[in-house]
Amino acid sequence: MRGIIVFLSLLVSTFLIDQAIKTWAVDTAYQLHQVTSTSVSSPSEDVLNGTLLKKGKCINLELYFNKGVAFSMFAFLGTWMKWIQGGLVLILIFIIFKEKYYLHYAIPAGLLVGGALGNVYDRFIHQGVVDYIAWHCGFKYAVFNYADIAIDVAFVLILVMVYFSPKKSKIK
């Protein structure tokens, strides 16, 4: 029971934190462009894409609506992307429950699904994933968000847990 509570708590909190930050980023971009978010049903990426929210030494906060996945790959899929990713997330959730991965991998599974749902939700609401963390030390191509970080941390945790978990003996 504890595993499912941890899994669901992390899933919900990751999703909510991700969406709160993205709402701040979009609203701030609207304010910088002197547009109220209530006057337009969805943000115009022509106006808001690339809006500098805060400048830093190695990291800027810049708003982008990513139509693809990592580094805008598969952007050519257009509106199909949200349905493909939504289906993959549903399959992931099914596997987590069917195989009871939430028992041993509650923390990474919650982070993974919460982050994935945050990005899929963006595709339905904003027609692209809201990215805002722009790394510009050495190269200027990485723009990501809180959900992406949660997904990356989840994968690292899964790798560490699998690699360092006690091996079950094959001899009975």
Instruction: Tell whether the model's pLDDT for residue 168 goes beyond 80.
Output: no
Instruction: Tell whether the model's pLDDT for residue 46 goes beyond 70.
Output: no
Residues marked active site are found at 131, 148
Beta-carbon neighbour count of residue 93 at 10 Å? Answer: 17
For range 42-56, the mean pLDDT: 78
Instruction: Tell whether the model's pLDDT for residue 90 goes beyond 70.
Output: yes
pLDDT at res. 81: 82
DSSP letter at 70 equals: G
Q: Which has more pLDDT, 135 or 15?
A: 15
Domain ranges of the chain: 2-163
pTM: 0.85
pLDDT at res. 50: 83
> Across-strand partners of 64?
131
Q: Is 151 exposed, middle or buried (0-12, 13-18, 19+ CB in 10 A)?
A: buried
Q: For residue 153, what are the CA distances in angstroms to 11, 45, 120?
A: 13, 29, 18
